[in-house]
Amino acid sequence: MRRHLHVMASALFIILFTVQAHAQYEKQGWLFGGGFNFIDDSGTNGSEPFNFTENWSSVVFPSRFSMGYALTNGMFFQGFASYNRYQKDVIVDGNPQSTEWNYYALDGMIGYGFKNMIDPRGWFDPFINTGMGVNRLAGNNSLTYNLGAGFNFWFNDRFAVNLSTLGKWQLGDGSGDNHIQHGIGVVFKPDLGKLFAGKQETEENNTLVVNDSINKQPEIDRSLVASTENTPLEKEEETVPPAAETQPVKSVSEEEKRVAIINRLKSDLASVERISFEVNSSFITLEDLEKIDQLAAFLNYYPTTVIEIRGNVDPRGSEEYNAWLSVRRANRIKAYLSTQGVAPERIKAVGSIQNEIEGPCREGQPCTEEQLRESRRVEYILLDF
C-alpha cells in the first residue's frame, strides 16, 4: 500500500508542477461524458493489450458515465460511474472464467490536459489523471488506486471524442484484483450560464436595448430637409412680399447630406458599449451579451449599414497566436449577431495583432492590468450605409 501511495503522490506532483508551468487557453466549465468501458483482468499486466476475445470484458450498451469540472489552468476533476460484466470463458488472472460476474465502480480523478503544449487552438488534447475508486466484483468490495492517461479529440468548443486507459491497483495486502479499464465515449462541455439565463430575461434585455436606442435617436437634422420646408401644408391666402424682400432658401448639397448622415451614424455607433475579452479567451459572457445586444439594436435600426468588427489583443503572446485569437474574437461576435437577425454580409470580422490603444501598453511598455484590459477591447467601425 505504501508503494501505491508513493506512486499517487508522484503523479499528483507531476500534474501540479505542469499546471504551474503552462496555461490552458480554455474557459473553465462543467464536463459531462458517456460511453463504453472495457476491462482487461487477465493478469497479463498489459502484455497482451489487443487480445480482445479472451481478455476483454464489455457490454453492448453505454456503460460509463462521468461528470467533472475543468479549470482555466488545464486541471480538471472528474467522477466516473461504470458497469461491466465478466462473461464465461474470459481470462481472469490467467484462468478461464467459469461464471458470470457483475462489475460496478465509482472513481474520483484529478488530471491535467496538455493541449496547450501542442497547440492551444487545436483539437488534440492528451491528458493524464490519477485518483482513487471503489469497485464491486462477485459480491466483494475493494478500494483501488488509479493511474491513467488518454486523449480528447475536440470537434469544437463543446464536443470531444474521448479515449482513455486506467490502471487500477487494489489497496491493501496486495492479494486483491488488479486490472486495466479502457474507455471510449464523448465529452460535452455546455455553456450552463447561457443555458439557464432564461429566454424571458434575454427578450426583456433586448427590448430595453432597442427601446433605449430608439429613444436616443437624435432629432432629424433640419438642414437635410430644408428644401422641402418651404412647401405650405395648407392652402391659405398669402401676401406675397415684394421681390426685393424675398429671402433665398439655402440649398444643401448631396455631399453635405452624406456627411451629416455619416456623422450621425458614427455618433450612434460610438455610443454602443464595447466588450473586452478575458486573457487568452474568445468566449462571450452574459454581461458581454447585453453590450452586443446594443450593437444588434443599432444594426437592426439602421438596416443598410455595414460595419467592421475588429478583435483586439493585448501585447502579450506570440504574433501568430494573437493574430488567430483576434480574428476568433471578432467572429464570435459576428456569429451571435447573426442569431439576432443581422445578415452576415453586413459584418466584416477582422483581427488585429497590433495594439491600437494609445498609451503605455504599446511597443512592450509596462502597463497596468486595467490598461491591458482596455487594449483587448473590440472596435466597431462603420464601413457603409
Share the mean pLDDT of the chain.
77
Q: Is the pLDDT of residue 363 over 60?
A: no
Q: Which tens digit of pLDDT belongs to each residue from 172-211?
A: 765 567 899 999 999 998 876 555 554 445 444 554 444 4
Nearest to 299 by CA among 213, 238, 197: 213
Q: What is the pLDDT of residue 95?
A: 81
Mean pLDDT over 116-130 rounds to 82
State the Cα–Cα distance between residues 372 and 356, nearest whole angstrom.
12
Mean pLDDT over 132-158 rounds to 90
Q: Which of 17-26, 136-145, 317-326 has the highest mean pLDDT?
A: 136-145
Q: What is the pLDDT of residue 308?
A: 92
State the Cα–Cα distance between residues 309 and 263, nearest whole angstrom.
19
Q: What is the pLDDT of residue 66?
A: 96
For the chain, the structural domain boundaries read 2-190, 198-217+251-384
Superfamily name with CATH number, domain 198-217+251-384: OmpA-like domain (3.30.1330.60)
State the Cα–Cα distance between residues 38 and 52, nearest whole angstrom.
9
Give CA 183 to chain center in angstroms: 25
Q: Which tens digit of pLDDT belongs to each residue from 329-354?
A: 999 899 999 988 899 999 999 988 66
Q: What is the pLDDT of residue 104?
A: 95
CATH 2.40.160.20 corresponds to the domain 2-190: yes
Q: What is the pLDDT of residue 223?
A: 36
Q: Binning pLDDT at 50, 70 and 90, where does residue 362 land?
A: low
Torsion of CA 224, 227, 233, 239, to 10 degrees: 140
Mean pLDDT over 108-123 rounds to 82
Q: Which tens digit of pLDDT belongs to each residue from 45-76?
A: 777 888 888 889 999 999 999 999 998 778 89
pTM over cut 0.85: no
Q: What is the pLDDT of residue 282?
A: 83
Q: Which tens digit of pLDDT belongs to each residue from 27-37?
A: 678 999 999 99
DSSP H/E element including 144: strand 140-154
